Chains A and B, each alone.
Chain A
Amino acid sequence: GAVVSQHPSRVICKSGTSVKIECRSLDFQATTMFWYRQFPKQSLMLMATSNEGSKATYEQGVEKDKFLINHASLTLSTLTVTSAHPEDSSFYICSARGAGALTDTQYFGPGTRLTVL
């Protein structure tokens, strides 16, 4: 149980284009999903927290107009990197947290490696 998928696993795009990443909880309802960014050999940096049906809460320094987050259902959240630039190249990982017994635990997706040329 508690499986989170993420798609795509890898994407290469040209500078100026937008990229959408999907995060799905496959066998539980995720009341809250989180989006992280991870640079090589570094820790997980939280970008934003999204609750189903409401606007995402962004961490300080994260541009909400650049990183659009939608959490339209209890099993799906999307992150759109708009007008991507080479400095946006990174490993993006989502996590999902459920209700009840799964309230505390965050389960991570496999990550998306974004390369912007």
Chain B
Amino acid sequence: GENVEQHPSTLSVQEGDSAVIKCTYSDSASNYFPWYKQELGKRPQLIIDIRSNVGEKKDQRIAVTLNKTAKHFSLHITETQPEDSAVYFCAAPIQGAQKLVFGQGTRLTINP
């Protein structure tokens, strides 16, 4: 079945620096890759997603890159701020099924 590996599990960066979280997936037919941000005790919030027909997508300080050949995609956060501190999850669909498989999560801490 589909497997999604996410690294690192924890990440601590200085405010203003960039943060990068990486995920790899196993199903080459996967065509949609969302990233969710979850603050403590709250719901996961979709922050950005990318489809397999593009290699990069950007939304202000957040960007996602996709390498279909290598089957990995990454979340990039620039000019980090304290409010970026949260747990981030990547996900990929199981082709032919309706469900997403989630990565293990990355706890991002922005140090002031």
Contact = CB atoms under 8 A, between A and B. Distances in A.
Interface residues of A, number: 20
Interface stretch (B56-64, B74-82, B96-104): B96-104
B46 A105 contact: yes
Interface residues of B, number: 21
Interface string A1-29: 00000000000000000000000000000
Contacts of A49: 98-99
Interface of B is mostly: strand
A108 B43 contact: yes
Interface in B74-112: 89, 93, 98-100, 102-105, 107
Interface string A77-117: 00000000000000001000100000011111111010000
B44 interface: yes
Nearest to B45: A108
A75 B41 CA distance: 24
A97 B41 CA distance: 22
Contact of A104 (B42, B49, B105): B49
B104 A43 contact: yes
A111 B38 CA distance: 12
Contacts of B107: 41
A34 B99 contact: yes
Contacts of A111: 41-43
Interface of A: 32, 34, 41-44, 46, 49, 51, 93, 97, 104-111, 113
Pairs of residues from A and B, 5 with the lowest C-beta to C-beta distance, nearest first? A108-B43, A104-B32, A110-B43, A44-B102, A108-B44
